[in-house]
Amino acid sequence: MNKKKMIRMGIGMLVIPVLAACTSSEDQESAVATSVAATLEVSAPTAAPPPTQAPAPTAAPTQVPSPTAIPGNPADALGDPNGKDSFDNANNWTLFNNNCFATTITGGKFVMEAKGALELSCWEVSWPLIKDYYYQSEVVMPVACNANDRFGLFFRAPDNDRGFLFGIQCDGKYSLSSWDGENTNIIVAPIDNTIISTSPESINVIGVVADGSTMSLYANGQFLAQAQNVGFADNGKIGYFVRAAVEDEGFVVQYDNLAIWLLDQ
């Protein structure tokens, strides 16, 4: 898979629309969505109304690793990224503070605080609509959190009501799910592993190859799992999410060195 085109980032290059939304997790199915949008060289999406209460999620399908996954570290195989953000400034983001989460950019990190809104996954997204890519970011583990607190990459978001969540937990498990605007779909149920560090303030590098309807998950340069035929595969935005597992017990996670590699169709 080869790089296709450059995502131009930085001061004076793009004014990027940003969305923030909250949606329910597997245990409590309700959703609230809000958005703000600025002017973009491509089209800025229109916020959709909040989804209605959703039924219980579908069961997780059996995951079979595929030999077509990029072996080893995709960043090594794909060369220089097409776009990146080291969070030296907030040019690519609109920062939020609501009852579910707050975001700041401090000390060269994208800092996201989950406020303990029980079982709600809340996200913020940015950057132009893109389709097939490898999306990677460093994740600084929280200083204090509950075992099932979850956080990570939000991607393939065609609007603020839909998207995929590749998350890691404070106990080191990883998972993949989606929110289609009405239902939470568990694609990869939380899985134990020895690849993800759980030490406070340790850094994990997590990434996802989104290639058509196939998604391959990576952590610290190693392949974790692959899911095929996972649903909508249109252009979408990328971002981050948080989900507190215990009511009124929040946590703070930091992200850094976001990078995107675009893939050939």
pLDDT in tens, 237-255: 999 999 999 999 999 999 9
* 257 CB-near residues (< 8 Å, 6+ apart): 84, 85, 86, 137, 138
Numbers of helices and strands, H then E, in the chain: 1, 16
Q: What's the one-letter identity of residue 263?
A: L
Of 31-35, 54-58, 90-94, 241-245, which has the strongest mean pLDDT? 241-245
pLDDT digits (tens, 9 = 90+) for 118-157: 878 999 998 789 999 999 999 999 999 999 999 999 999 9
Helix, strand, or coil (residue 74) = helix
13: in domain: no
Domain count along the chain: 1
114: in domain: yes
pLDDT class of 182 with cuts at 50, 70, 90: confident
121: in domain: yes
57: in domain: no
DSSP secondary structure letters along 191-228: E--SSS--STT-EEEEEEEEETTEEEEEETTEEEEEE-
The phi, psi pair for 74, rounded to 5°, reads: -60, -30
The phi, psi pair for 93, rounded to 5°, reads: -140, 150
77, containing H or E segment: helix 74-78
pLDDT digits (tens, 9 = 90+) for 76-118: 999 999 999 999 999 999 899 999 999 999 999 999 999 998 8
Distance CA 251, CA 61 (A): 30
134: in domain: yes
How far separated are the first and last CA of the chain, in Å rounded? 9
Task: Give the domain range for residue 85.
Answer: 18-39+66-262
50: in domain: no
Q: What is the pLDDT of residue 23?
A: 53
pLDDT for residue 9 is more than 70 = no
Residue 179's closest CA among 160, 194, 206?
Answer: 160
231: in domain: yes
Q: How far is CA 259 from CA 9, 137, 243, in A?
A: 11, 6, 23
46: in domain: no
Q: Which two tokens stand for residue 202?
A: 């340790």
pLDDT for residue 67 is more than 90 = no
What is the CATH classification number for the domain harbouring 79? 2.60.120.560
